[in-house]
Structure 1
Amino acid sequence: MEENIVGDNEKYCTKCGSVITKEAVICPKCGVKQPSIGSSGEKNKVAAGILGILLGGLGAHKFYLGQVGTGILYLCFSWTMIPSLIGLIEGIIYLTMSDDDFNSKYN
């Protein structure tokens, strides 16, 4: 039985497990799009969750996710404490969301 060993410039396909180059966007064997890891500009769900929990009342998590209009709305109504409650709930949602769901929605 042949064993595939991954080199420095290779990775495994997330669907079929074939050895492909690290830069491959689509697996040449099965045609499945590979997740982009470490791309610049990607939003981190842990950072978004912590910002939502700690600074949700000021809309920090919304600014981080690029939703500037909603962030300004949270900031304007921060004195009511309602954005703080919503930010807490959204922070928990971000932290419990799967990586694929978070990436498809915010990255």
Structure 2
Amino acid sequence: MVFMNAGGGSSSSSSSSSSSSSSSGPYYAPLVPIKNRIVAALLAIFLGGLGAHKFYLGKPVQGILYLIFCWTFIPAFIGFIEGIVYLASSDESFARNYGARYY
């Protein structure tokens, strides 16, 4: 086979490039969640005052802040609301916002 390179000269090659992948558009790999939305929601609702859901989601600094201020019950209130938000979100949006891998 003879191919034309960018410089204008011709070259012989036994391998050919696949043009079907570029014509169909970019390929987006699916999101694979690393953290479970239900587990995060239950931790936020029941142990949100201690910041358990923040530690689970990989945010230890925020978890420590929840621990420091747990005596005020403000983190418990915020954790309860975050748990409801986690339950109300879809699996895809939770994976996008709180950690997922592209495969």
Q: TM-score, normalising length from structure 2?
A: 0.68
Flag as ranges the 4+ runs of structure 1 deviating above 3 A.
28-32
Aligned to 2:81: 89
Aligned to 1:66: 58
Aligned to 1:16: none
Q: Distance in 1 between matches of 2:53 and 2:97?
A: 14
Q: Report the Cα offset of residue 100 of structure 1.
A: 1.4
1:57 aligns with 2:88: no
How many residues end up aligned between the 2 structures?
Answer: 77
Give 3-state SS (helix, strand or coil) of 1:83's partner.
Answer: helix
- Larger RCO (CA under 8 A, 6+ residues apart): 2
Which has the larger strand fraction? 2
**Bigger CA radius of gyration:** 2
Which has the larger helix fraction? 2
Aligned to 1:100: 92
AA aligned opposite 2:97: K
RMSD: 1.6
AA aligned opposite 1:73: L
Q: Which runs of 5+ in 1 are unaligned?
A: 1-27
